[in-house]
A and B are shown apart, each in its own frame.
Chain A
Amino acid sequence: MQKYSVFSLIKNAFTDHQNWEVAWKDPTPKSEYDIVIIGGGGHGLATAYYLAKEHNITNVAVIEKGWIGGGNVGRNTTIIRSNFMYDANARFNEFGMDLWRNLSQELNFNVMFSPRGIINLAHSDAQMNAYARRGNSMRLNGIDAKLLNRDEVKKLIPMADFSDDVRFPIFGGLMQPSAGTARHDGVAWGYARQADSMGVDIIQHCEVEGFDVEGGKIKGVRTSKGNIKAKKVGLCVAGSTNILAEKLNMTLPIETHLLQACVSEPVKPVLDGVVTFGAGHFYISQSDKGEMVMGGDLDGYNSYAQRGNLPTIQHVLTGGLALFPFLSRLKMLRTWGGIMDMSMDGSPIIDKTHIEGLYLNCGWCYGGFKSTPVSGWTFAHTIAQDRLHELNADLTLNRFSNGYLLDEKGLGTKTWIS
């Protein structure tokens, strides 16, 4: 594989950038693999990469019905954080933060990880108390957390509405300074390129039509490009999890919902980190290009549409305007939607299934992007060793029936309300 560096950039400039190697090949599927990963998004590609790197398994195929990076890994708002209260989620995502910090070097691909901090705003004394509690839990798990008062918040985000007559005045906030953003496409491409160079086949435009299961054991997958035999199969398909589960006669504690995001026209730097509104569901950051990147509530009913409705955007931006009045003068450039695998407690599932050799990675709700490296790392471990790693030991499928829920927000099973 050609190494990306300033020297290769200069060298290729002499030939007008016509002679760059392809970043990944376009192979036709073999008839058999050791492991087939379904879903060429961030998590699937990361899983393939860590299978090759950590477990020396390279007879692996990643099959993707569309093109890699065309699903949720290219549709999210690029936020990376580990500000969780429960031990299982905190440990899992903090391990992920360590992977993020070194990811550009490791992949030899600039994923533009930018730890510029996230501030969750509080708008009441009760909310400040709740954030103090969450911050303390985070610090007990070794995650940086800082409780900010109103003046400290004002220094960091002077553009927010700090006037006296607002409906939801800013009391303060909880900050995780090490949180941040990254370039989401770069993450998918970086993992794809490295996995490909180690021998993984990335097969695009190949849709799974069914599974071959014999005697409770997975034998392979039937795809639009023919049957592929596999000793092990990993499902990494986010919003399409329920569709594939139906083909396996499985019912999961997951509903599929739609989440929208939008960006404004680019403006000069006004916002350094990521900010979330505490009195509604709204979050915002500014991209390197200067666009304000915003998101909020689910559309609120089961959906596979990958495009949303205007009332939700209007509702989300109403919250945005209450926080940052200057947004009213910006034009929106784009809105888009992605389909979310909403688990019934808001936490993910990385587990084995009742079918031998079939592994499940789902339930990411609207927070899958930040966990891309650690999800791939633990899922690779789970598939290669046929057992859970201690990091995902609590992210099981049977935690629902056993009552060991990881209901971080305390919202219960009505996922559309969140």
Chain B
Amino acid sequence: MLHINCPFCGLRAQKEFAYGGDATVKRPEINKEVSKEEWDNFVYMRKSPRGKHIELWHHISGCRQWFKVQRDTATHEIFKTAKMSEEIV
């Protein structure tokens, strides 16, 4: 089982969390002309890398906050977690 460090609650078991997908996908800006390709990239296209992946998790059975996790998709090692307002570099 993964152990995820929620930036608000601390280290908790995976069972308390729900996954939210790739955190680097950006929704096209509102009130701007959006090309078909931009929508495609936002809705469907995913890098899904083997290795370091920045992703969203939701502490659904805890503080119910969304936050970012940097995790290795091959070893499941978790390197960093951060609040939504923070960047993971």
User: Bound pair: A and B?
Assistant: yes
Q: Which residues of A contact B (CB under 8 A)?
A: 242-243, 246, 251-256, 300-305, 309-311, 344, 400-401, 413-414, 416
Is B44 a contact partner of A255 (Cβ separation < 8 A)?
Answer: no
B80: Cβ under 8 A from any A Cβ: no
Indicate whether A401 sits within 8 Å of B40 (C-beta atoms), given known contacts A304-B50, A416-B21.
yes
Which residues of chain B in 54-89 are interfacial with respect to chain A, using CB atoms and an 8 Å cutoff? 55, 71, 73-76
Check if A254 sits within 8 Å of B48, measured CB to CB: yes
Q: How many A-B residue pairs have CB under 8 A?
A: 69
> How does the 8 Å CB contact mask read for B22-41 relative to A, with 1 for contact and 0 for none?
10000000000000110111
Interchain CB contact under 8 A, A303 and B15: no
Partner of A304, one of B1, B15, B74: B74
Q: Among the interface residues B22, B41, B47, B48, which one has the most CB atoms of the partner chain A within 10 A?
A: B48
Q: Please report the C-alpha to C-alpha distance between residue A384 and residue B75 in the assembled complex, in whole angstroms.
A: 39
- Alpha-carbon separation in the docked complex, A303 to B49 (Å): 9
A192→B22 CA distance, assembly (Å) = 38
- B73: chain A residues at CB < 8 Å are 256, 302-305
29 contacts between A and B (CB under 8 A): A242-B47, A242-B49, A242-B50, A246-B49, A251-B45, A251-B47, A252-B46, A253-B44, A253-B46, A254-B46, A255-B21, A255-B46, A256-B48, A256-B50, A301-B55, A302-B22, A302-B53, A303-B74, A303-B76, A304-B73, A309-B1, A309-B2, A344-B44, A400-B43, A401-B37, A401-B44, A413-B43, A414-B21, A416-B19
CA distance A255 to B53 in the complex (A): 12
Given contacts A400-B40, A414-B21, contact A305 B45 (CB under 8 A): no
Least distance between B19 CB and chain A CB atoms (Å): 4
A242 touches B14 (CB 8 A): no
Beyond A246-B49, A304-B50, 5 additional contacts (C-beta under 8 Å) are: A302-B22, A303-B73, A309-B1, A309-B14, A414-B21
* CB-contact partner of A400 in B19, B44, B49, under 8 A: B44
CA distance A153 to B85 in the complex (A): 53
CB distance from A260 to the nearest CB of B (A): 13
Q: Top 10 A-B pairs ranked by shortest CB distance?
A: A253-B44, A242-B48, A304-B50, A400-B44, A301-B19, A251-B45, A255-B48, A304-B74, A344-B44, A401-B40
**Nearest Cβ on chain B to A406's Cβ, whole angstroms:** 13
The distance in angstroms between the C-alpha atoms of A303 and B71, with both chains bound, is 10
Q: Which residues of B contact A301 (CB under 8 A)?
A: 19, 55, 71
Q: Closest Cβ of chain A: how far from B32's Cβ, in Å?
A: 19
CB contacts (< 8 Å) of A305 on chain B: these are 73-76
- Taking CB atoms, residues of chain B closer than 8 Å to A400 are 40, 43-44
Residues of A within 8 A of B48 (CB): 242, 254-256, 302
Q: Across the interface, do B19 and A243 meet the contact criterion of CB distance under 8 Å? A: no
A301→B1 CA distance, assembly (Å)? 12
Residue of B at shortest CB range from A301? B19
CA distance A414 to B2 in the complex (A): 21
Most buried by A among B22, B36, B45, B53: B45
Minimum C-beta distance from A249 to chain B (A): 11
Residue of B nearest to A251 (CB): B45
| Chain B residues with CB under 8 A of A243 | 50
Q: Determine how close the nearest CB of chain A comes to the CB of B12; give it in whole angstroms.
A: 13
Q: How far is the CB of B55 from chain A (nearest CB, A)?
A: 7
Q: Which residues of A contact B1 (CB under 8 A)?
A: 309-311
Which residues of chain A come closer than 8 Å to B74, judged between CB atoms? 303-305
Complex: A305 Cα to B43 Cα, angstroms:
25
| B-chain residues with CB within 8 Å of residue A416 when the two chains form the complex | 19, 21
Expressed in whole angstroms, the minimum distance between the Cβ of A206 and any Cβ of chain B is 19
A252 touches B76 (CB 8 A): no
A254, A304, A416: which has the most chain B beta carbons within 10 Å?
A304
| Smallest beta-carbon distance B23→chain A, Å | 11
Q: How far apart sit A309 and B19, CA to CA, in the bound complex (Å)?
A: 14
Task: Establish whether residues A302 and B55, one from each chain, have CB atoms under 8 Å apart when the complex forms.
Answer: yes
B-chain residues with CB within 8 Å of residue A252 when the two chains form the complex: 45-46
CA distance A413 to B45 in the complex (A): 10
Q: Within 8 Å CB of B40, what residues of A? A: 400-401
Task: Report yes or no: B19 in contact with A300, Cβ–Cβ below 8 A.
Answer: yes
Q: How far is the CA of A416 from the CA of B47 in the complex (A)?
A: 15
**Smallest CB gap from A309: residue in B:** B1
Query: Given the complex of chains A and B, what is the CA–CA distance between A251 and B49 in angstroms?
Result: 10
Chain A residues whose CB sits within 8 angstroms of the CB of B47 once the complex forms:
242, 246, 251
A243 vs B45: C-alpha distance when bound (angstroms):
14
Least CB distance from A243 to B in Å reads: 5
- Smallest distance from the beta carbon of B80 to chain A beta carbons, Å? 16
Most central of B22, B39, B40 by chain A CB within 10 Å: B40
